[in-house]
Structure 1
Amino acid sequence: MSAPSTGKGHSQPSKRPAQLSVKANMLWNSLGSMTYLACQWLITIVVVRLSSGYEDAGLLSLAMSVVGIFGTFANYKMGTYQISDISRENTLGEYMGFRCLTLAGSFVACMAYAWLTCASYALITVALFYCFKAVGLIIDILHGEDQINRRMDYIGKSFMLQGVSTLAAFTVVYVLTQDLNIAIVAMLVAALGVLVLFDIPHCYRFTRVIVSLSAEKALFFLRTSLPAVIASVAASAIFTIPKQYLAVVSGDAALGIYASVAAPALVIQMGAQYLYGPLLDIFPRLFFEGDSKGFIKLLGKTVLGIIGVTVVCALILELIGGWALELLFGGSIVPYVYLLQPIILSTAATAFLWFFGDLLITLRHFWANFAGNITAFLAVVPLTFLCVNAWDMNGVSFAGAGACLLGVLMLLFFLVRSIRRGPGALERRDPSSSLEETVEKDAA
């Protein structure tokens, strides 16, 4: 697949850092990412423990959910695309320039959506949390360069710094002010510090950190990844829709309770992503080089790894989940421990939806990824009304899990077809080809 030429080529230092092994990269990425995830989770605990009720927790959860939809659009699936750019078609500056463009556009869309769907008092919280996430999305582009050069220790250390500094900043400011918005501003400042003081200097060891984007390359990115972006927005909305419906029918406190109980189970979803993320540049190499046995072997190990993470977490939470929730959130959360197991089911289903979708993108099956995620999105709308009305907070989990599993089945259909036919069937086809054309070629 070719891209418009815009003077590609990377300015690199004379001596590049030595690459790390796959295991070392996975270890660093996992340690750093899990540290960041734990710190973000602790922020939700801080809100509950240091406030007089669940209102701030519900407001923070709402901001996270809304920003999650448009943060996905801002990402424009450039992370997966960048690290699977094995032929180095585009420069870091072009990826960075396009990220800045999508961040600006998605902010406008995010605030318009928030104005239409959220209470007026939530708008400033949504805007501030978007700015905080925007810094992380800029850092992700630098992490893409780190991964391409197989130095994910830089990524792990960056995540550790981001997690610890943002947690500390949020906690101190929230204790002093009891103001959620000011605490989010403190997180934003801490994240900017990590970007400027750590990530930019380390990425500069591989190439110049600049912003450089032509109109031609911007249009190429827009056209190429559009199906994957729409699919990502749909995937992000799979749980946002039932959460927002829960807030409407049961109130912000119910949403805050659900988000608090759900936080520990997110380790399954994110742990799976940290497991397969370092492999997304290896899968396409194996596939396009015709090493089908190696590809299938790696695929099997990854699937078993995700299942293993799910089983271990389910057992641990079954044994100590109630005690842990009471310790973290206090006795008022104990009556809601029953929410845990359905949440585990839903997070595992989401993990597989993410994995198979990202894997199809690395194989340049953009429209197949689109079909799977849109299937899940269309399914969650009726499931939301059915499940939330029937099971209240548990309905969020049941609706999301059912929708994700339907999407996974669709993704598996395309993945199995691709494996059976091999890389020659793809012919590096133009990813802007229509869904109808792709389905006809793959299902023939």
Structure 2
Amino acid sequence: MSVPQVGAVRYPPLSTRENMLWNSAGSIIYLACQWFVTVLVVRLSSGYGAAGLLSLAMSVVGTFGTFANYKMGTYQVSDIKRENGTEEYLGFRLITLTGAFVACIAYALATCPLDALLTIALYFIFKGVGLVIDILHGVDQLNRRMDFIGKSFILQGLSMLVAFTAVFWLTESLNGAIVAMTVAVLGVLVLFDIPHARAFEPFGVRITAKKTAYLLRRSLSAVVAAVAGSAIFTVPKQYLLAVLGDASLGIYSSVAAPALIVQMGATYLYVPLLDIFPRHYLEGRKDEFLKLLGRTVVGIIVVGAICFVALGVVGEWALCLLFGDSIVPYAYLLQPVVVASVATAFLWFFGDLLITIRCFRGNFIGNLVAFAAVLPLSVVCVNFWGMNGVSFAGAAACLFGAAVMAVFLAKRLGEMPEQGSEAEGAADGETGKESDDGGK
């Protein structure tokens, strides 16, 4: 499928550095706005009921968000041969959203209070709009205009924060505030993301049953791997809870909160490169691939080192500011958390990198190895190091998984097509070219 050139004329591609800066800035502002919502729900309410209900909705929806996403973000931005059209990615996203919504509501009916059901449903719809926007962001990235992605995240974050604050402050209705956030991000979708994506190519929403079955089968292992990967730190946390009690888990979780900066910083570093790696791979530019790989690995290490030093200097002060003096004796947990975050970032990076070159088997096995490793490591590490054992067990498991993925990556690079060779199907997995099986 050819790519219309109108977008390239109207919006020339940006440099990798510019794309990284815009993606990072937008993502950080969006995450900050999300965090402010969780703070304001406490500050603007007369009790903690709304905060607890929002936390429940976020947790339940997050569990099923993996299936709604179905790892299509990484798949789409690495689809440089345009085997699937934007209309098909949108159609598939609506199908997975519908299936995940039904499963989410069924789970909520079975496990949550009935008065939480509407809140969970509304929050799922809010997150669903964002997942639709992500498909259009894939179009922006493929055309190397991630400034549109950054601006979209900024608009989404600020508009949802203002909408939530205004409605919740006036009514103290959590459901009303979630509806207001949904309307705000819908506005960004309709007024900003759709017009900019359509400047690159025309699209609607359409997908055949054959293509749906193909994409469901194609990314299933990546989804299972993502579920296994997301549970790597859940296992040692649950063991910590069983051995040392909920107070220890609460302390560890509070101290670990700033570590999200390390993981997200590493993600913002490599996500803008996920369409460049497969280009180098398919065109046989092994030297360029390895050079970019080396720079990315060094970049993740540098981000981790900066955070390690920074938290060593200001970590105790920051924890005291956020949580009060009672948390200060546990500042020693911070730097092992940073190490665990860097290890997690490597697991994510190598997993996504394998998906971009269509090595789903390596991504699947690597995540399963990490999950299997964390089971015995949790017992050993938590028993020996206490709360720090969560970080050590998770870090070791992630590094085991990343090492396995690196072996698969090395094998695929050894089979890399020569420069200038089309090598049909080289990036289509281990079973030969499957793109013709997609119903296009």
Smaller-chain TM-score bracket: 0.7 to 0.9
> What are the superposed Cα offsets for residues 310-356 of structure 1, whole Å, 9 maximum, x if unpaired?
11112222222232233344455545544422322222121111100
Q: Helix, strand or coil for the counterpart of 1:94?
A: helix
* Number of the residue aligned with 1:415: 409
CA pair 244-292 structure 1, distance change in 2 beyond 3 A: same
- Identify which range, 226-235 or 210-219, moves more after superposition: 226-235
Q: Does 1:297 align with 2:319?
A: no
CA pair 10-86 structure 1, distance change in 2 beyond 3 A: closer
Unaligned 5+ segments in structure 1 are 1-7, 435-444
* Number of the residue aligned with 2:68: 74
> Equivalents in 1 of 2:383, 2:59: separation in Å?
20
Identity of aligned residues (%): 63
- Identify which range, 205-214 or 120-129, moves more after superposition: 120-129
Are the equivalent residues in 2 in contact too, given 1:166–1:188 (CA < 8 A)? yes
| Residue 368 (structure 1) aligned to one of 342, 362, 366 | 362
Shift of 1:209: 4.0
> Equivalents in 1 of 2:259, 2:394: separation in Å?
14
Shift of 1:78: 1.2
* Aligned 1:42-81 pairs, distance under 5 A: 42-47=36-41, 60-61=54-55, 63-81=57-75
Q: Helix, strand or coil for the counterpart of 2:232?
A: helix
CA pair 416-60 structure 1, distance change in 2 beyond 3 A: farther
- Identify which range, 357-366 or 158-167, moves more after superposition: 158-167
> Equivalents in 2 of 1:215, 1:17: separation in Å?
34
* Number of the residue aligned with 1:84: 78
Are the equivalent residues in 2 in contact too, given 1:45–1:328 (CA < 8 A)? no
> Equivalents in 2 of 1:398, 1:374: separation in Å?
18
* Number of the residue aligned with 1:208: 202
* Number of the residue aligned with 1:138: 132
Shift of 1:428: 2.6
- Partner amino acid, structure 1, of 2:23: N
> Equivalents in 2 of 1:119, 1:399: separation in Å?
34
CA pair 9-377 structure 1, distance change in 2 beyond 3 A: same
Are the equivalent residues in 2 in contact too, given 1:28–1:155 (CA < 8 A)? yes
Shift of 1:384: 4.8
Are the equivalent residues in 2 in contact too, given 1:58–1:253 (CA < 8 A)? no
* Number of the residue aligned with 1:280: 274
| Residue 239 (structure 1) aligned to one of 233, 244, 268 | 233
Are the equivalent residues in 2 in contact too, given 1:54–1:257 (CA < 8 A)? no
Are the equivalent residues in 1 in contact too, given 2:347–2:402 (CA < 8 A)? yes
* Aligned 1:10-29 pairs, distance under 5 A: 13=6, 16-29=10-23
| Residue 189 (structure 1) aligned to one of 183, 190, 206 | 183
* Aligned 1:429-444 pairs, distance under 5 A: 431=429, 433=431
* Number of the residue aligned with 1:148: 142
RMSD over equivalenced CA pairs, Å: 3.4
TM-score using structure 2 length: 0.84
* Number of the residue aligned with 1:341: 335
> Equivalents in 1 of 2:61, 2:217: separation in Å?
23
- Identify which range, 107-116 or 67-76, moves more after superposition: 107-116
Q: Helix, strand or coil for the counterpart of 1:422?
A: coil
TM-score using structure 1 length: 0.84
- Identify which range, 236-245 or 66-75, moves more after superposition: 236-245
Unaligned 5+ segments in structure 2 are 433-440
Q: Helix, strand or coil for the counterpart of 2:233?
A: helix
- Identify which range, 157-166 or 401-410, moves more after superposition: 401-410
Shift of 1:52: 7.9
Shift of 1:61: 5.0
| Residue 404 (structure 1) aligned to one of 398, 406, 416 | 398
> Equivalents in 2 of 1:326, 1:397: separation in Å?
21
| Residue 426 (structure 2) aligned to one of 416, 421, 428 | 428
Are the equivalent residues in 2 in contact too, given 1:97–1:213 (CA < 8 A)? yes
> Equivalents in 2 of 1:382, 1:58: separation in Å?
33
* Aligned 1:107-146 pairs, distance under 5 A: 107-114=101-108, 123-146=117-140
